[in-house]
Chains A and B, each alone.
Chain A
């Protein structure tokens, strides 16, 4: 019987997911709602998770190459503008491409500042975040105002790329034939846990935008690229021990550039997705609402591995997905209980590792959430807004010391420093 930590990553994360679904099912039964595991919630979760996922993957490439990129937010902002403009002017797919290019340009700027000029990574990232909204505002005033329906702060409606539904499992169509809908059927059976899981799965397979599909495929692609190819090995050495790379003939500057530009490109793609009909449907100033930072948090939560990033993205996207449709607040309220139970689990875990302070801390926090749940019926809607950030903080508080960033992440590198 292998130890849990030795199981392959995808299996471990699937188990986490299963436990999570179980938890949600239990809690929603207590609360008396079905919204935590409904099909629409799941669809929503996926939609909200994608920009976080793309931003997180972007951060992955950059940080694995040793450059901290907190300018993801700014690059995402560039992506929203270019994505909207590109789609309106040339068509939906061109919008995505334009968003990628826009973000990549932001990445290039960050790369030049940090890699060539050795500016501190955080400072350069902050500068990009300051610059980006200014650029988009300027571009809007020059270009969007000349398009009917556009203004300095928003654009007209953005066309979207198509979507698909997976056949057989979720009742998608092949040609003109509507296939049977396995998960849909399972979902209606009201079988505890199984139906809930089925609903969630159906949600992520129904009317899924092609961009989403690409984004999801990027996860295994990135894992393969970074760990199984020559490119990936060389990129990773730049983030772990650039001097070793240099000594063995790797052009460290080049790989850092590539990593950062890719990160900008992915953040830009995230922005284009936000502007697309999947989420907003228009370019709107300020629409990124910190999701670049949440992507960064997903990266940290995922311990700088692709499978972890998507785990984090789904985790953080979930509250957003729930919140918007939760008109009576029951789901938001239920999530408090989820927090309480989650923290209790952390307490148990800490106890088994004989970490006294952690156990006590987790129990206290769990108790606070439990108390909050019991003493209220509704919760202010701002709770949903801040839930992802709270979760990130909680994860960091308990697990920061077990995370393993790339060893040379954030360090200024200059050739020939040995």
Chain B
């Protein structure tokens, strides 16, 4: 079969790092080709080079057999390549039609847009590929799956024969993923070539015809799905034996550190985000909360931290009711928090490390004495964190944005744990960090657990959840729908509970 895309020796360097190192990629016409790799493996950079958003430093690119070099996305579009970004590039306040035709508007005299022609063309494209959408809807009214459809129509409208999908399933619920795969198969039938990035290995194995694995900027191998298992793929991505989060002996005590009772959270549009949730976490216990993103876990954690108010229910910390307490008070009384978006929620990027170490704890020693900031104390504590939690940085005065993601996360974990909390709320604590840092964080959580810390762990990494937790609850549509024993549940089962395919009586 002819090659739709051929990348030979593609190399792209940034200051201090080689993002793509002589990468090889061969995508056949009419196939669905997956590109896998960890965060930082170079997948996004490669796609940006392919799409003309970046230019390679070395190497050759061939599209449909012709050698090309794209200086801008427009050139890639003209060559028949369309990109659907992970974070949708849609303007909420404009209609679907306006978003789709932008940049390729049919015009009459004086630059007047010919909306009739645009609408007709859009309809043709949408129907041809079985994608149903109303061109006059405002994008902000659409569901996530529908928005993705708009993105796909955008590229098809311009006649793309090669579609690049960047982590398309990251934001979809399982039914929407099914819908997407259906669309992908239809597109393939019509002769389109699809290249997609994904690191959910079961999905990749389900839909792809060929899989290319990248690691640290290099092509590691190219395989067919029937030749490998998910575990094999994972090891190819990581390059070594996977560390396991598995814990051994139980350290659960009988002392209840955190109790949540009947917690209900309602947003301003009257939607119930968390519905009558109750659970207890004891000292020495890790409670894992499983669930597809968007089922209320984030809101639940935010309510426990104190950022969002609860409409009903109570939260009790070590016997004291903190339901209405402000964030600062909860922190002072022993709640630690590892946020899921460290840059947005947990760090002051331009500030030095020692100030970041104080964030969240600035009202307590060693960071402050009375109304004054104790710089010496802060620096001493930061040095300790750096030492004990292996934060790689020249000194404690560098700004936080100078650290890598993994080191930033280690800093946050360290600062929370050294403040000796009673309860630790950890939201996706190892998201987006390298394997080494991930292993370190797991060790820290395990050690703290042994020392009597109560932890609430929210994670999308099922291995992490099963490995670290003493108890797992599953959240679906704001409710706890299952309470499971990690010793007896498999990732597949857990996934089934999370998507509602399986159900059990809640404990």
Contact = CB atoms under 8 A, between A and B. Distances in A.
Given A237-B91, A237-B94, A249 B53 contact: no
A7 interface: no
B85 interface: yes
Interface string B84-100: 01010111111000110
A248 B72 CA distance: 10
B103 A249 contact: yes
Considering residues B72, B85, B91, B111, which has the most beta carbons from chain A within 10 angstroms of its beta carbon? B91
A405 B112 CA distance: 24
Interface string B146-189: 00000000100000000000000000000000000000000000
A244 interface: yes
Interface string A230-255: 11011011001101111111100000
Contacts of A416: 53
Interface in A32-87: none
A406 interface: yes
A48 to B, nearest CB: 32
A418 B102 contact: no
Contacts of A229: 107, 110-113
Given A247-B83, A249-B73, A416-B53, A233 B89 contact: no
Contacts of B111: 229-231
Interface residues of B, number: 27
Nearest to A224: B112
B72 A249 contact: yes
B49 interface: no
B105 interface: yes
Given A233-B113, A240-B91, A406-B93, A245 B85 contact: no
Nearest to A404: B93
A228 interface: yes
A361 interface: no
Given A229-B112, A230-B107, A247 B91 contact: no
Nearest to A408: B91
A245 B103 contact: yes
Contacts of A245: 102-103
B91 A244 contact: yes
A236 B103 CA distance: 12
A61 to B, nearest CB: 16
Contacts of A230: 105, 107, 111-113
Given A228-B113, A229-B110, A248-B103, A240 B94 contact: yes
A139 interface: no
A283 B112 CA distance: 40
A394 interface: no
Contacts of B83: 247
A245 B98 CA distance: 11
B89 A244 contact: yes
A407 interface: yes
Given A234-B102, A418-B53, A247 B93 contact: no
B241 to A, nearest CB: 35
Nearest to A238: B91
B93 A233 contact: no
Given A229-B110, A416-B53, A249 B91 contact: no
Contact of A244 (B77, B99, B113): B99
A60 to B, nearest CB: 15
Contact of B102 (A228, A250, A406, A407): A250
Contacts of B72: 249
A407 B91 contact: yes
B74 interface: yes
A281 to B, nearest CB: 37
Interface string B45-64: 00000000100000000000
A314 B99 CA distance: 34
A125 to B, nearest CB: 24
Considering residues A244, A246, A250, A404, which has the most beta carbons from chain B within 10 angstroms of its beta carbon? A244
A92 to B, nearest CB: 29
Nearest to B83: A247
B105 A244 contact: no
Given A416-B53, A418-B53, A418-B85, A248 B112 contact: no
Contacts of B154: 248
B92 A233 contact: no
Interface in A196-248: 228-231, 233-234, 236-237, 240-241, 243-248
A268 B384 CA distance: 61
Contacts of A244: 89-91, 99, 102
Interface string A354-369: 0000000000000000
Considering residues B53, B72, B93, which has the most beta carbons from chain A within 10 angstroms of its beta carbon? B93
A404 B140 CA distance: 13
Contact of B93 (A228, A231, A250, A407): A407
Contact of A241 (B73, B74, B89, B104): B89
A237 B139 CA distance: 13
B48 to A, nearest CB: 8
A231 B111 CA distance: 7
A147 to B, nearest CB: 42
Interface string A268-295: 0000000000000000000000000000
Nearest to B154: A248
A237 B94 CA distance: 8
13 contacts: A228-B112, A228-B113, A233-B102, A234-B103, A236-B91, A240-B93, A244-B90, A246-B73, A247-B53, A248-B103, A248-B104, A249-B104, A418-B87
Interface of A: 228-231, 233-234, 236-237, 240-241, 243-250, 404, 406-407, 416, 418
The 7 closest A-B pairs by CB, nearest first: A248-B103, A240-B91, A244-B89, A249-B74, A241-B91, A249-B103, A229-B111
Given A233-B113, A241-B89, A241-B91, 19 more contacts: A228-B113, A230-B107, A230-B111, A230-B113, A233-B98, A233-B101, A233-B102, A241-B90, A241-B92, A244-B102, A247-B53, A248-B102, A248-B103, A249-B72, A249-B73, A250-B102, A406-B93, A407-B93, A416-B53
